[in-house]
Amino acid sequence: MNLEVDRGRLFNEIEKLALISDAEPPAVTRVVFSPTDGKARVWFIGLCEQAGLAVRHDPVGNTFARWSGTEPDVPAVGTGSHIDAIPNAGKYDGVVGVLGGLEAIRALQRSGFRPKHSLELLLFTSEEPTRFGIGCLGSRLLSGSMPADAARKLVDKEGASLEEVRRNAGFAGALEEVKLSHGYLKAFVELHIEQGPLLERHRVPIGIVTSIAAPASFRFAVEGAGGHAGAMLMPERRDALCAASELILAIETAAKASGAVDTVATVGICDVFPGAVNSIPSRVRFTLDLRDTSLERRDAVLRVIQAAREDISAKRQVVIQEELVNADAPAQCATEITEALSRACTKHQLASIPMVSRAYHDSLFMSRIVPAGMLFIPCRHGYSHRPDEYSSPEDIERGVLVLAETLAALAS
Ligand code: GLV
Ligand code: MN
Ligand code: MN
């Protein structure tokens, strides 16, 4: 099998998709079920159809592009990722796994390979939590990790429900139908940029992911008392922002003190009410994204944060409420996938190292229902979730080559 990746074509497609965006280039913003997301999906489906793939979608908008195998009734081999992008993101997060997955299939087609198991390229809906506050929405539902009832309760900041916006985006049917039937897939492999600096630092082209860290996310609401910024004396204040700040720093300290580099905590949204220069903040809402590869350690850090919350609340006479959004368990990648990836690297004389994924991915949820794995390629300085995210065409080509070789082995 002579596998050749069309690097130029893939590079142009990545650049084109980056222009279907709501941000000023080079930044990319593509929020799920926005008109821009709709345009990107239509464009992507066109590419899949040009490649002769049969395209379908499910009620939440997960899209499946299938290259039928010689035995179409046996379980398919899946690959894919997401094309939604957080505000002010880059061009490569998720996209490399979707467009790279498509190019892997095209390279296999050009080589004359015929899969026995169908190959299916998946575009997952809303891997990013931007709109509904929860990541991996599509793969959670596909894998049955989130009940349809819970998904029906999701609303965005404007008060629009998932039900409403997905139907307006053209995705009808009941959310119960999203869950994949048992045995639908035989294996799942996702190509992604590393989003960290290790591959670049060690000059290794491929990372073979062995485990995926899992997030727990929370919403905090601090209720204090507002008032005049000039007239209210300092000893009498119950400033919600000062209390929130103290808790945010306690969160940082707790994550740093866990004893493992794998513990990370981020407060990424903080809304201050009423938000006036000369008014004491009476209410603050903020989010917490807490992750680890070890569930026990993550829970231990959470207990420290909860103790800090109680102390700060008592000391500052404010009410601090905590609401759990999701708490997912980490995943181990399947040995059969890591071994297949490793054999593909050896075949193409590419060095690889085992890696932990500290970011989460749709594979975290796919691994709950099917042997799943991931391969990483380097990205410059490890930058991601920012406009200067970059992976070179050569690195992307190597990732696609290994992906194609692995898919061929799994689909034979
Ligand atoms: C995915 O984008 C993540 O936040 O890990
Ligand atoms: Mn991301
Ligand atoms: Mn991603």
Residues with C-beta atoms within 5 A of ion ligand 3: 93-94
Tell the residue nearest (CA) to atom 2 of ligand 1. 128
Q: Is the CB of 359 under 6 A from ligand 1?
A: yes
Q: Is the CB of 128 under 6 A from ligand 1?
A: yes
Q: Is the CB of 92 under 6 A from ligand 1?
A: no
Segment 171-221, tens digit of pLDDT: 999 999 999 999 999 999 999 999 999 999 999 999 999 999 989 999 999
Mean pLDDT on 234-258: 98
| 175-207 CB burial, b ≥16 within 10 A, e <16 | beebbbeeeebbbbbbbbbbbbebbbeeebbbb
**Which amino acid appears at position 96 of this protein?**
V
281 CA from centroid of ligand 2 (Å): 32
Q: Is the CB of 31 under 6 A from ligand 1?
A: no
Evaluate if residue 139 carries a pLDDT over 90: yes
Nearest atom in ligand 1 to 291's CA: 5
Inter-CA distances, 355 with 211, 277, 315, 377, Å: 7, 47, 43, 11
Tell the residue nearest (CA) to atom 5 of ligand 1. 359
DSSP class of residue 235 equals G
Question: What angle is formed at CA 97 by the lines to CA 96 and CA 99, rounded to 5 degrees?
Answer: 65
The bound ligand whose nearest atom lies closest to the alpha carbon of 359 is 1
Q: Is the CB of 213 under 6 A from ligand 1?
A: no
Segment 51-65, tens digit of pLDDT: 999 999 999 999 999
pLDDT of residue 7: 97
Confidence class for position 1, pLDDT limits 50, 70, 90:
confident
Best of 360, 364, 365 to mutate for ligand 1, by most ligand atoms within 8 A of CB? 360
Q: Report the chain's mean pLDDT, rounded to a whole number.
A: 98
Q: Is the CB of 124 under 6 A from ligand 1?
A: no
SS3 290: strand
384 CA from centroid of ligand 3 (Å): 9
Kindly list the structural domains of the chain, giving each domain's residue range(s) and its CATH number in brackets, ordered by start.
Answer: 7-213+330-411 (3.40.630.10), 215-327 (3.30.70.360)
Nearest atom in ligand 1 to 94's CA: 2
Whether 268 contacts 289, CB under 8 Å: yes
What number of CA atoms fall less than 13 Å from residue 126's CA on the CB side?
Answer: 24
Evaluate if residue 151 carries a pLDDT over 90: yes
pLDDT of residue 214: 87
Q: Is the CB of 113 under 6 A from ligand 1?
A: no
Best of 29, 92, 128 to mutate for ligand 1, by most ligand atoms within 8 A of CB? 128
| 15-37 CB burial, b ≥16 within 10 A, e <16 | eebbebbebeebbbbbbbbbebb
Mean pLDDT on 257-285: 97
Evaluate if residue 117 carries a pLDDT over 90: yes
Evaluate if residue 97 carries a pLDDT over 90: yes
